Amino acid sequence: MAEQHKQLGDYEIVRELGKGGMGQVYLVRNLISDRIEAMKVLLPDLAQQGDLASRFMREIKLLASLDHPNIAALRTAFTADNQLVMIMEYVEGDTLAHRLEFGAFSTADTLNYITQVLNALSYAHGKGIIHRDIKPSNMMLTPQGVVKLMDFGIARSTTDLGMTVTGTTMGSLDYMSPEQVKSEPTDARSDLYSVGVSIYEMVTGHRMFGATSSFSVMEAHVKETPRAPIEVQPSIPKGLSDIIMMAVAKDPAQRFQTADAFRNALSQVSGSSVAPAPAPPAVVVTPPPFTPTPSPAPVVTPPPAPPAPYTPAPQPSGGGRHVGWLVVAAIVVLVALFGGTQVYRSHKQNAAVDSAMPPSTTTTTPASPTEPAPQPTPPQPSPSATAPDAMTPSSPAPEPTHRIVPPRAQVNTPPVNTGPTPEEIAAQKKLMDDLEHQSDQLDSRAAAVESSVGTLEQQMHQSGLGLRGDIVEARANLRNDMAKAKQALDNADTDRAQKFMQQADRELDKLEAFTGHR
């Protein structure tokens, strides 16, 4: 219908580019901006299906949120002549499927192109969008060497078992995951299976299954184990062959769990012959030098010593009682000079000074033999300071100053250690229970990651390759931190247990990102 009009909305149809899973694609020119773009029109016979049309519209909204250099962008969408229309970025270049007609790709080119595809899938999967039709014919290679993933998010009927619509090409069936064939729910791992099938064809030059009928291809995806790529093409690196076989595992749990994990595994193949090891591990070594903070503490310790030399201060001057109070005042001034906070922290020392003062005034007055009469008067205020009669003698002013001492003696009594309260014991027990639960969760995560890393390491080792340096270091750190955390828990040392469990959690994050178990 669109061909008859030669114009749809503000777009002039230049020529037909091909047919997608559910629509026809045209090269068009915008009559206003004069920009060349691609137009995809929902097939007329499908436009009458309300559910399918509404799903097509939801997909358009998702595609509008995608902005990635390896994804052909959606410009806009509209309805015209009762047809749903998408205007896409026109990508000039050649599909990888067309390039495959001239033979298999080199390992370097395959890794380059598929890495770009996985970058696009990682971005889209992160936004909850599954492609569901990954194949070389949907990978466009530009003259600049950039791969653009096409036909993103084409809606499918739930009754078509993932097959293409009647009247369109049947190429998609060769790249479908077993769960798509069985009409089971699909997720990101289904796209990764299709990527694995695509790599298989790109490096061998042959389809993964040589079946000719649609049913036999579907059955092969579900039941048949393909030949290893290295058996088809011996020049393929063993590591790459193992990675492809892992990607096309029948069980989604046995595949790479994320596009990032798939890409990381492929980097082992390319990195082994190009660059030794990346730099990230150096960042981890920096934190330890920052521990020596307790240096200011020794500066505060000298002040307690000075009070002792000042206890013999009551010189034998004739002032008697007044001299004693002058000495008290002098000590208060000196203690204030050395820091008031030290007075409140050393209660025992303050009590010793205060208790030493009254005897000194009592002993100095009898030592002066000049006046016997004043002797009875001075001794009584000091020893009987607790009696109310002591308030009436002739020196009421010094008495309130001297009464600062008894409160300090009372402050000294509370520090008696009665042990932890029941609330503290309950809180400690809850903390231990929580930490043990966290430790069990870390154990479970660590076991899954160790298994995946171990499998990949064996595959790499068989082809003479090794894991990346940062992954080896992260695994060693994880084991060490887990062991120290368990030892701290056995000793009920919650602070150390929390510290090492946090460190183990960080290492697990690295390994899970690498293996795709996050």
Q: Could you give the residue numbers annotated as active site?
A: 133
DSSP state of 106: P
The radius of gyration of the chain from alpha carbons, rounded to an integer in Å, stands at 42
End-to-end CA distance of the chain: 48
Closest CA to 72 of 164, 179, 9, 146: 146
CA distance 179 to 187: 9
Three-state SS for 203-231 is: HHCCCCCCCCCHHHHHHHHHHCCCCCHHH
CA distance 331 to 318: 20
377 Cβ contact list (under 8 Å, min separation 6): 393
139 Cβ contact list (under 8 Å, min separation 6): 95, 96, 97, 113, 117, 147, 148, 149, 150, 198
- How many CA atoms within 13 Å lie on the side-chain side of 171? 15
Contact between 233 and 104 under an 8 Å Cβ cutoff? The reply is: yes
CA distance 347 to 407: 10
Residue corresponding to tokens 């033979």: 103
Reduced to 3 states, what is the DSSP secondary structure of residue 352?
Answer: helix
Q: Retrieve residue 335's tokens.
A: 């203690």
CA distance 208 to 193: 12
β-partners of residue 26 are: 16, 39
Helix or strand run (H / E) with residue 470: helix 469-490
Q: Retrieve residue 274's tokens.
A: 């190009």
